[in-house]
């Protein structure tokens, strides 16, 4: 006979204390164990007469997925119990409350909206990197550690690429929290990580405006309308919201997943680099679409039964990486810069949805000497930015997938690593100057980046003959470059 949870119950070495929370599908209990010093909680599903199918299957999904997850953005699992006696999951206790308390005080200051949004997206990106789509993101399912990291909880509706999808096998109705559910979830598609990005967009909208973009529907029929009905633009509700933030929010809320951000990392990039956000009509609109536009969209979308979905979460992330290209704009590095451009073009053939972030670094010591101007008296940052954009102008990419940024610092290697880490860059491509005694004893920027970056790094180096031609200033048109770049790649797990 199944055991009922009560204070003082001991099971598998865990002793139940006080009940901390009662939810719609589970209860949360304080527990202790002689094996662990860290505070613990036990989650126990609420099963009514053994006939609550979705609750049982959802809890089985959680028991399969959670032990496979690692890192600060998920609770650490300490124990699991089977259904024969008392089903449970014991995890570390995350001090603090869910984000629901913060959302109840919306709208929040815009600086706080950006910070919270970026930290939520970072947690979601880490889930996706571990082959998991959450599919039930909402404020109540985010906790915050004292150290600031967001923690995702409640994986009962989630999907893992490497595990059977029990919910899809046993149930045909759409599942999720209706104010945040993506259109493709309504159409019973559970394999697209961009569904989580839609939910993030809905939460950013809510935190900024104190309104849910699609209200609080109670029936699936109301959820269906978001296939053709757009939300009220955030700036119509709160005029101080900048156009670039509305652009981010409404892009995340696009009906067609192909028009949204393609990864949480790309969303993080725009949240962290607002001046690089390309504005479209989405960012400028101040009213919902007109009746005729909505009617045309309804005629199209009422026949839609699904959207093209990726083969896997890992495959989708691999198709949409953030590639950071560190470009040296010095005249003597022109040949190397050309090889960098060719390397980027080859990578785009393999990863056509990649986002390219071009960067150039100014040493702050140069600014101190030159007062921030070049030899012609132009502002050095502006001159470098113009040169960087000119270098990148040959890439056939929409503006939202190509950014140019000039950084500065006393240590270029450290600056590049910091920028790559902050923007969740997936791969760094950079050139290396020729060998010299100074480089040998003091090290190089490229070796610093290879050693410290938390992503893969490709270093392009010219052959000795090509480097000599570049330094001699010979006309490249007289003798075409025949040397292929040699590259060294170093990969470190995030």
236-265 burial, b at 16+ Cβ within 10 Å, e below that, comes to eebeebebbbbbbbbbbbbbebeebbbbbb
pTM: 0.84
Mutual angle of helices 264-272 and 243-252, in 10-degree steps: 170
Looking at residues 235-240, what average pLDDT do you find? 98
* pLDDT at position 367: 47
Instruction: Write the pLDDT tens digit of every residue in 72-121.
Output: 999 999 999 998 889 999 999 998 789 999 999 999 999 999 999 999 99
Instruction: Write the pLDDT tens digit of every residue in 385-433.
Output: 899 988 988 888 887 788 889 998 889 999 999 999 888 899 999 988 6
pLDDT band at 2 (very low <50, low <70, confident <90, very high): low
Same fold? 100-316, 321-490: no
* pLDDT at position 23: 85
Instruction: Write the pLDDT tens digit of every residue in 221-230.
Output: 899 999 999 9
* pLDDT at position 482: 34
Q: Which tokens is 380 given? A: 């050095």
Closest CA to 135 of 158, 154, 152: 158
Res 442 pLDDT > 80: no
* CA–CA dist 7, 347 (Å, integer): 59
CA separation, residue 132 to residues 125, 163, 202 (Å): 10, 10, 20
* pLDDT at position 473: 53
Name the percent of the chain lying above pLDDT 70: 87
What's the CATH code, domain 10-92? 3.30.200.20
Instruction: Write the pLDDT tens digit of every residue in 362-391.
Output: 987 654 444 466 566 668 888 888 999 889
Angle CA(398)–CA(401)–CA(405) in degrees, nearest 5?
Answer: 120
Q: Which tokens is 367 given? A: 């600014």
* pLDDT at position 260: 95
Asked if residue 69 lies in contact with residue 132, where contact means CB atoms within 8 angstroms, the answer is: yes
Please state which of the ranges 271-275, 417-421, 484-488 shows the lowest mean pLDDT.
484-488
* CA–CA dist 236, 4 (Å, integer): 51
Burial class of residue 486 in the structure, from the number of CB atoms within 10 Å of its CB (0-12 exposed, 13-18 middle, 19+ buried): exposed
Name the percent of the chain lying above pLDDT 90: 60
CATH superfamily of 321-490: HUPs (3.40.50.620)
Q: What are the boundaries of each domain within the chain? A: 10-92, 100-316, 321-490
* CA–CA dist 392, 403 (Å, integer): 9
Asked if residue 428 lies in contact with residue 458, where contact means CB atoms within 8 angstroms, the answer is: yes
CATH 3.40.50.300 correct for 100-316 = no
Instruction: Tell me, rounded to whole angstroms, the distance of Cα 216 from its chain centroid.
Output: 26
- Name the H helices within 287-379: 291-301, 313-319, 334-350, 364-370
Instruction: Write the pLDDT tens digit of every residue in 188-210.
Output: 999 999 999 999 999 999 999 99
Res 480 pLDDT > 60: no
Task: Give the single-character DSSP code of 321.
Answer: -
Q: Which tokens is 443 given? A: 């090290």
- 405 Cβ neighbours under 8 A, 6+ residues apart: 273, 276, 357, 358, 359, 360, 388, 419
Res 243 pLDDT > 60: yes
Looking at residues 164-181, what average pLDDT do you find? 89
Asked if residue 333 lies in contact with residue 361, where contact means CB atoms within 8 angstroms, the answer is: no
């Amino acid at each position: 006979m199944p055991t009922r949870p009560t204070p003082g119950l001991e099971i598998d070495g865990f002793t139940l204390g006080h009940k901390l929370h009662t939810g719609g599908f589970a209860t949360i209990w304080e527990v202790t164990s002689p094996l662990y010093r860290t505070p613990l909680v036990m989650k126990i599903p609420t099963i009514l007469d053994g006939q609550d199918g979705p609750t049982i299957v959802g809890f089985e999904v959680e028991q399969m997925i959670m032990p496979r997850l690692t890192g600060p953005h998920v609770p650490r699992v300490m124990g699991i119990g089977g259904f024969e006696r008392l089903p449970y999951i014991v995890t570390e206790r995350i001090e603090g409350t869910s984000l629901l308390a913060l959302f109840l005080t919306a709208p929040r200051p815009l600086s706080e909206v950006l910070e919270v949004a970026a930290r939520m997206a970072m947690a979601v990106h880490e889930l996706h990197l571990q082959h998991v789509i959450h599919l039930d993101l909402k404020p109540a399912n985010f906790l915050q550690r004292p150290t600031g990291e967001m923690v995702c909880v409640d994986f009962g509706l989630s999907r893992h690429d490497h595990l059977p999808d029990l919910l899809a096998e046993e149930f045909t109705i759409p599942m999720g929290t209706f104010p945040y559910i993506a259109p493709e979830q309504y159409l019973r598609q559970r394999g697209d990580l961009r569904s989580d990005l839609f939910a993030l967009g809905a939460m950013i909208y809510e935190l900024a405006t104190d309104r849910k973009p699609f209200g609080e529907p109670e029936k699936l029929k109301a959820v269906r309308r978001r296939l053709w009905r757009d939300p009220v633009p955030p700036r119509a509700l709160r005029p101080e919201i900048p156009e670039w933030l509305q652009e981010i929010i409404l892009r995340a809320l696009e009906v067609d997943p192909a028009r949204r951000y393609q990864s949480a990392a790309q969303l993080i990039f725009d949240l962290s680099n607002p001046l690089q956000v390309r504005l479209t009509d989405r960012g400028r609109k101040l009213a919902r679409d007109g009746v005729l536009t909505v009617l045309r969209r309804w005629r199209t979308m009422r026949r839609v039964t699904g959207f093209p979905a990726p083969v896997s979460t890992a495959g989708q992330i691999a198709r949409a990486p953030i590639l950071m290209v560190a470009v040296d704009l010095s005249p003597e590095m022109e040949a190397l810069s050309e090889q960098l451009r060719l390397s980027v073009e080859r990578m785009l053939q393999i990863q056509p949805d990649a986002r390219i972030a071009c960067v150039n670094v100014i040493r702050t010591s140069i600014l101190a000497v030159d007062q921030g101007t070049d030899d012609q008296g132009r502002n050095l940052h502006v001159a470098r930015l113009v040169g960087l954009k000119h270098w990148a102008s040959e890439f056939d990419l929409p503006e939202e997938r190509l950014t140019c940024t000039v950084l500065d610092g006393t240590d270029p290697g450290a600056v590049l690593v910091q920028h790559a880490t902050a923007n969740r860059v997936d791969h760094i491509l950079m050139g290396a100057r020729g060998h010299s005694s100074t480089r040998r004893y003091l090290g190089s920027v490229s070796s610093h980046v290879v050693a410290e970056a938390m992503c893969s790094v490709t270093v392009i180096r010219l052959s000795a003959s090509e480097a000599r031609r570049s330094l001699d200033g010979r006309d490249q048109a007289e003798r075409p470059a025949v040397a292929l770049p040699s590259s060294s790649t170093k990969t470190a797990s995030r």
